[in-house]
Amino acid sequence: MMAINTKRTNSTLIGLEDAVELSSYFSRNANHLRLWEPLRSDDYHSLTAWETRANAFAYESAQGQAYRYAVRLKNENTIIGVVNFTNVVRGVFQACHLGFLLMKNNKAKALCLKVYRRS
């Protein structure tokens, strides 16, 4: 899958280059996301942990198993959300699970809905 772009956002497949911003995004939004995320250890959002995860996500994408996107406003580096297409099923019946996490901001909700519709 390629990038998913709207008039106001750019969504790119997560790679190692996103680890710093992912660590920051999840740390900043941990309290907000707590309602939807399982309990996490203290080091879950460390840079090292996100580097490992980002490499695993890139491998999953290369294998066609899952596609995980970092959503940013156009011309900005700050991640405002994450959209995940996981458990990809190929063949006659093509399907996947869709999940997303958004920063605590009403604008982000509307923007990620547009990303979902573009995909």
pLDDT in tens, 54-98: 999 999 999 999 999 999 988 888 999 999 999 999 999 999 999
- End-to-end C-alpha distance for the chain, whole angstroms: 9
How much is the mean pLDDT over the chain?
Answer: 88
Q: What's this model's pTM, rounded to 2 decimal places?
A: 0.84
Is the distance from CB of 102 to CB of 80 less than 8 angstroms? yes
Is the distance from CB of 98 to CB of 69 less than 8 angstroms? no
How high is the pLDDT of residue 119?
59
Domains and CATH numbers, the chain: 4-118 (3.40.630.30)
Is the distance from CB of 83 to CB of 100 less than 8 angstroms? yes
Q: What share of the chain is helix, strand, coil (3-state, %, to 5)?
A: 40, 30, 35
In a 10 Å sphere around its CB, with 0-12 CB exposed, 13-18 middle and 19+ buried, how is residue 28 labelled? Answer: middle
Is the distance from CB of 99 to CB of 71 less than 8 angstroms? no
Is the distance from CB of 29 to CB of 80 less than 8 angstroms? no
Is the distance from CB of 10 to CB of 3 less than 8 angstroms? yes
34 vs 113: which has the higher pLDDT: 34
